[in-house]
Chain A
Amino acid sequence: EDQVTQSPEALRLQEGESSSLNCSYTVSGLRGLFWYRQDPGKGPEFLFTLYSAGEEKEKERLKATLTKKESFLHITAPKPEDSATYLCAVQAGDYKLSFGAGTTVTVRA
Chain B
Amino acid sequence: DGGITQSPKYLFRKEGQNVTLSCEQNLNHDAMYWYRQDPGQGLRLIYYSQIVNDFQKGDIAEGYSVSREKKESFPLTVTSAQKNPTAFYLCASSHPSGPSREKLFFGSGTQLSVL
Contacts and interface: CB of A to CB of B under 8 A. Distances in A.
A42 interface: yes
A4 B106 CA distance: 20
A99 interface: yes
Main secondary structure of the interface of A (DSSP, over half): strand
Interface in A1-46: 4, 9, 31-32, 34, 36, 41-46
Contacts of B44: 99
A9 B35 CA distance: 21
Contacts of B103: 34, 46, 49
Given A31-B102, A32-B102, A42 B42 contact: no
Contacts of A91: 102
Contacts of A36: 104
Interface residues of B, number: 26
B109 interface: yes
B106 A87 contact: no
Given A34-B104, A97-B104, A99-B43, 12 more contacts: A34-B103, A36-B104, A43-B4, A43-B6, A43-B107, A44-B106, A95-B101, A95-B102, A96-B45, A96-B48, A101-B42, A102-B42
Interface of B: 4, 6, 31, 35, 40-45, 48, 58, 90, 92, 94, 96, 101-109, 111
Interface string A44-64: 111001000000000000000
B106 A96 contact: no
Given A95-B96, A100-B42, A101-B40, A34 B106 contact: no
State which size class the interface on A falls in: 20 to 34
Contacts of B107: 43
Contacts of A76: none
Nearest to B90: A43
A42 B108 contact: yes
B104 A41 contact: no
B102 A49 contact: yes
